Amino acid sequence: MDEIQRRLLMEIADLHEIPEGAYNIRSNGEKAGRRTTEHIDIVTKTDKPGIDVIIKPYTKNESVHIPVIMTETGLNDTVYNDFYIGEGADVLIIAGCGIHNCGNQKSEHDGIHTFYVGKNARVRYVEKHYGEGDGTGERVLNPTTIVHVDEGGYLEMETVQIKGVSSTVRRTEGDLKKDASLVVKEKIMTHGDQVAKTYFSVDLNGEHSSASVVSRSVAKDRSVQEFVSRLNGNNACSGHTECDAIIMDDARVTAKPELTANHVDAALIHEAAIGKIAGEQLIKLMTLGLTEEEAEAQIINGFLK
Amino acid sequence: MLQLEHISYAVPEGNGTKTILKDVSLSLNERFIVITGPNGSGKSTLAKIIAGILKPTGGKITFNGTDITDFSITERAKAGISFAFQQPVRFKGLTVMDLMNLAAGKRLSVGKVCEYLSEVGLCAKEYVNRELNASLSGGELKRIEIAMTLARGAKISIMDEPEAGIDLWSFQSLIKVFEKLYRETNDSIIIISHQERILNIADRVIVLENGSVTADGSKDQVLPAFLSGACPRIG
């Protein structure tokens, strides 16, 4: 692995060295490394590109890293990864994709991830996207995440895209059974002419199921963002969706929350707020000795923290 | 020493202008100064002009011999002037700890932050990692704002109605904070206030009415007439 690949791994997965526990590293469309453990198996799919990650029931305090890195310009990589999380397991899954494109052709990675979260299992899933390189070729990431959460299961999904991705369309779909929960925390910052669109759709099918989809974003320069969040309350359940965006310069931001209650005991809430940084926030930090630029950076960093 | 010379401030209104401050000149040497007066008299405007948040339409400000009239907010803060807002600002994502570190200009220990928060009557550990967002009440924000003033340790701390929105119990703590600042530092405090208890611990009380200074002196000179509704006139 060369210096660029190591840096990408550090950016997307905080990996300075080979991770502990199970991992599968994909580099330029090929398997670059894999380790399985007693409780976590990783199997290459035979019908299409991708892997099956199989986590045994009641596996506790283990993690799986599945980063993807791309350094070749003009590569279009689509991968299908399925995760089977056994009953009662409690694990951390760290994914992410980093693209270094110093050529003039588009580099694109489309990751289609499907989660089958077993009864009473708990999963924390972290996915970071990052792009770099001084070429004119676009850096495109289009992740799709499909989540099936069985009774009493819990999935927390944290997605971060702060830098260097020209275009992204994220689709997340979920269906939840009785007492199941889904928590999504999204953080996005776009610059230049970047485009980021995220679509969430969650079916709260089970009694006492719950979902929270929260997006915080900053749109700078001429970038465009769109956030669509759809919650369908099909039983006695609770759902909350929130989009909070800071808009700057000539950027454009659209937020479209959509709630549908198909049950009288479905409690659904949406909040959406888009606005520029308040002048009084800048002034307050300037009275503490920060310049306007430093104050703006502090406010944005805090907002996306 | 802070010197205000012929400060005026006016804003556009209709086809003309509305004067907020008229030819205000003050030499502010004392350690504890309270500026008081009726609503709309120009007190907060004067405080914001000192902090650089508003630019005067006329006049000059010098601080320890340096002309700071054209200094930005940041430059005045770096020169040693701090400002606590009447309506504290909320920040999504920034925690009390973050703001206290920014105020101090360095990374503070959790223990030190707790010390500052305790001084303003907050149960410190509960607040250190809380965001300064809508989950905090106005009174809590106000006390955090004053704790930030303590952490900042500026040569001149200006506070715009620090008592506003604070309950009686916390108000007692606030008085103790001012007394401690007075006793344990060489820094100066300028407070905009209507509160008799704050007026009572001042070295000097300045009364503003309709944008002009109408009374100025020690509390013993100014307060009896001011509190009875008949201010002694200056000059």
Cβ partners under 8 Å of residue A225, min gap 6: A188, A190, A195, A196, A197, A217, A219, A245, A251, A252, A253, A254
Complex confidence, ipTM: 0.93
Any A CB within 8 A of B148 CB: yes
Residue A88: φ, ψ to 5°: 70, 5
Is B234 within a domain? no
Cβ partners under 8 Å of residue B157, min gap 6: B82, B84, B149, B181, B187, B188, B189, B190
Percent of chain B with pLDDT over 70: 97
**pLDDT, tens digit (0-9, with 9 covering 90-100), for A112-165:** 999 999 999 999 999 999 888 888 889 999 999 999 999 999 999 999 998 889
Closest among A122, A8, B170, A28 to B178, alpha carbons compared? B170
Is B71 within a domain? yes
Residues of chain A with pLDDT under 70: 16
Is B219 within a domain? yes
Matching residue, tokens 């979902």: A211
Any B CB within 8 A of A285 CB: yes
Is B233 within a domain? no
Q: What is the pLDDT of residue B225?
A: 77
Is B221 within a domain? yes
**Which pTM does this prediction carry?**
0.85
Any B CB within 8 A of A273 CB: no
Can you tell me the mean pLDDT for B157-181? Answer: 86
Return the C-alpha torsion angle A85, A88, A91, A93, nearest 10.
20
Q: What is the pLDDT of residue A4?
A: 80
Distance CA(B74)–CA(B79), nearest Å, equals: 9
Q: What is the pLDDT of residue B231?
A: 55
The angle at the Cα of B136, spanning B149 to B180, to the nearest 5 degrees, equals 30
Cβ contacts of B152 on chain A, cutoff 8 Å: 288
Q: What is the pLDDT of residue B235?
A: 41
Distance CA(B208)–CA(B46), nearest Å, equals: 10
Closest among A163, A161, A202 to A183, alpha carbons compared? A202
Is B23 within a domain? yes
Question: Which tokens belong to B181?
Answer: 């600042």
Distance CA(B157)–CA(B82), nearest Å, equals: 5
Distance CA(A112)–CA(A78), nearest Å, equals: 8
Say which CATH number the domain at B198 has: 3.40.50.300
CA distance A271 to chain B (A): 14
Indicate yes or no: CB of B77 within 8 angstroms of CB of A289: yes
Is B232 within a domain? no
Which has the higher per-residue pLDDT, B95 or A5? B95
Nearest residue of B to residue A293, measured between CA atoms: B74
pLDDT band at B184 (very low <50, low <70, confident <90, very high): confident
Mutate to test the interface with B, among A280, A288, A293 (most CBs of B within 10 A): A288
- Mean residue pLDDT of chain B comes to 91
Distance CA(A43)–CA(A56), nearest Å, equals: 14
B57: helix, strand or coil? coil
Is B235 within a domain? no
Per the structure, the complete domain to which residue B164 belongs is given by 2-227
Q: What is the pLDDT of residue B232?
A: 52
DSSP states of A141-183: E--EEEEEE-TT-EEEEEEEEEE--SEEEEEEEEEE-TT-EEE
- Alpha-carbon distances, residue A220 vs A58, A179, A251, A269 (angstroms): 45, 40, 6, 28
Q: What is the pLDDT of residue B223?
A: 84
Distance CA(A146)–CA(A170), nearest Å, equals: 11
Domain count, chain B: 1
A301-305, B79-83, B169-173: segment of lowest average pLDDT: B169-173
